[in-house]
Chain A
Amino acid sequence: MMKELPLIIIENVDYIYPNGTAALKNISLTIHKGEMIAIMGKNGAGKTTLIRTLNGLIRPTAGDIFINYENINMKSIAELSQKVGLIFQNPSHQLFANSVEDEIKFSLKNLYQDNEELQLKTDDVLKSFNLEKYRERSPLNLSGGESKKLAVASIMCRDPEILVFDEPTLGQDANEIESFITLIDREKRKEKTVIIITHNIEFAFEFIPRTILMAEGQIIADGPTHNILNSIFLTERSSLVLPQTRQLSLALSKEGFQELTNITSRHEITEYLMKILENKISKIKEE
């Protein structure tokens, strides 16, 4: 069977800021439809710059980007934002209307010319994101969690094929992270492509299958999240820390137990600890 062509192809992309700082250096990358990807790395590695090239907010100084086999260099931001929905880290950077209802209407305006249809769709979005009660409120008077929800709704209501989130779990409690996971699961079932910039190691480790690791404007690793985050070399190079499951496995190996180098879940290490505690596993080297 022929493998489907990638949805996004990034070829030898550079971006140099006007002051001469190179933010992206020769980035090449392919992403398939329906993939869920984490972009990780230290502050200033180029993660946000990279995702901004996807909807034209930043135009590469060299190289090409193709979405659905079309070179996006000549496409307008308006055209691209129908395909690529970018949800910023700070919702206040993308909310500007006078009311929650107007914010959603603005997003939908290009898709629904008929006023009645536009109103019906707006009502539908407000309902499905549980924002109906804030309909008339100014986005400025929403709490942090609510404004984040509105920012997500205003992008997702246009049903873009590619969803890009910048630090979606930042400042969120477990409840909100759970709702976010439900949301991206739903989108994944619809074959949407989801790209997430995150510093949240445990979240990426448990929920995101593929990770792209960046350092100093370059991709230094691209592969299964478990392989990347379990690597001492890669996490150190990119200012990350090892997941707690791997830290525990390393600590156990220093005590003489076999080291689990590629743990894929907390259940795996729990079972390993159970065996140790039930004395079903003995040390491979004695102290």
Chain B
Amino acid sequence: MDLVRFEGFSFRYKGNEVYALDDINLRIEENKFILLCGETGSGKTTLIRCMNGLIPQFYSGFYKGKVFVHGMDTINTSISNLSTEVGIVFQNPENQLIAMNVEHEIAFGLENLGVPPKEISKRIQESASLTEIEHILDKAPFELSGGEQQRVAIASILVLKPKFLILDEPTALLDPYMAKKIITLLKEIQLDRNLSVMISEHRLDLVIPFAEEIILMKNGRIIEHNSRDNVLNGLKFQNLKLNKPVIYTIFKELRKRNLIKGNIPASIPAALDLIKKSQHE
């Protein structure tokens, strides 16, 4: 069964005449690492809000079509039930952290679901170990650095054991090293837990090397959803005003000059392999 399925879904926010999402048809499968990208205002955050029922249950507006999470219609399933299937970490983790210390923060969701205390502490240990925050469990959220806050936000969602983890610009506030560390960690979590991860991100060079699929959005529509290499080598990606990785522009030029054949590489090791292969041909 699909983790999430959109069927002809459109949505416009109350007071706005333009549809933020326009006729979305989308299927998210299990165990995938997905990059969601598009120009600013293309509808990425609105799409994410539909995946745990925040739209249409929390944000008012007009909608048509359906969204299903693991077969459940998001219109009549409670957000708390949907949150155990789909966990979302929003743009600014600071806004998401509310408890007095990190341990309570992680326990909060489980307590609300009535999980027994023994199970809660077992799950906290698991999530804290996976996100490498065991040493800060007794700290207050405001004492943490940006990278630590981001990892706490991820841990407090992971503890709910969602099958689908979504992050809206998770690296926006982080320095490049910490940003890379967080994306690498998310890939490890995806493989370790066999879940699907979707990241909406403007720093494409960080996520592309890990992504299996890419979803491209423009003006509230999904204009392409395909394997990473198919998207990277297509015209739609080329024509969108995205922050394309430097190696993408370099290898596009080399391909134009017929010096390389095949797909544009998605990472530095892949770029090196392609150079070696092209040299021997």
CB 8 Å contact bits of B225-258 with A (1 = contact, 0 = none): 0000000000000000111111101100110010
Count of chain B residues with a beta carbon within 8 Å of a chain A beta carbon: 42
Complex-state Cα separation, A195 to B194, whole angstroms: 45
A124 → B minimal CB distance (Å):
26
Contact, CB under 8 Å: A43 / B147: yes
**Which of A174, A248, A269 is in CB contact (< 8 Å) with B242?**
A174
Contact check, B250 vs A177: say whether CB atoms are below 8 A apart. no
- Nearest-CB distance from A250 to chain B (Å)? 9
Q: Are A43 and B178 in contact (CB under 8 A)?
A: yes
Contact of B245 among A170, A244, A270 (CB under 8 A): A244
A43→B146 contact, CB < 8 A: yes
Contacts of B179 in A (CB 8 A): 199
Q: Which 5 A-B pairs have the closest CB atoms?
A: A239-B177, A244-B246, A175-B241, A174-B241, A277-B259
Task: Determine if A43 and B145 form an interchain contact, defined as CB atoms under 8 angstroms apart.
Answer: yes
| Cβ-neighbour of A243 out of B174, B244, B246 (below 8 A) | B246
* Chain A positions 172-224 with a Cβ under 8 Å from a chain B Cβ: 172-178, 199, 201-202
B260 contacts chain A at the CB level, 8 A cutoff: yes
Contact between chains at A248 and B202 (CB < 8 Å): no
Q: How far is the CB of A80 from chain B (nearest CB, A)?
A: 27
Are A251 and B178 within 8 A (Cβ)? no
* A173-B40 contact given A243-B246, A266-B250, A274-B259, CB 8 Å threshold: yes
Chain A residues, CB < 8 A from B275: 252, 273, 276-277
Q: Which of B202, B241, B260, B272 has the most CB of A within 10 A?
A: B202
A-B contact pairs, 15 of them (CB 8 A): A44-B146, A171-B202, A172-B40, A173-B202, A174-B243, A178-B241, A240-B176, A240-B177, A241-B176, A244-B245, A248-B271, A251-B268, A273-B275, A277-B260, A277-B275
Contact yes or no, B177 A251, CB < 8 A:
no
In the bound complex, what is the Cα–Cα distance between A132 and B102 (angstroms)? 46
Compute how far the CA of A84 lies from the CA of B84 in the bound complex, rounded to whole angstroms. Answer: 49
A240 to B40, CA, bound (A): 25
How far is the CB of B96 from the nearest CB of chain A, in Å? Answer: 16
* 8 Å CB interface, B137-154 against A: 145-147
Q: Are B269 and A251 in touch, CB under 8 angstroms?
A: yes
Pick the residue among A41, A42, A201, A270 that contacts B250 (CB under 8 A): A270
Q: Among the interface residues A44, A144, A248, A252, which one has the most CB atoms of the partner chain B within 10 A?
A: A248
CB atoms of A176 and B40 under 8 A apart: yes
Nearest CB in chain B: distance from A139 CB, A: 16
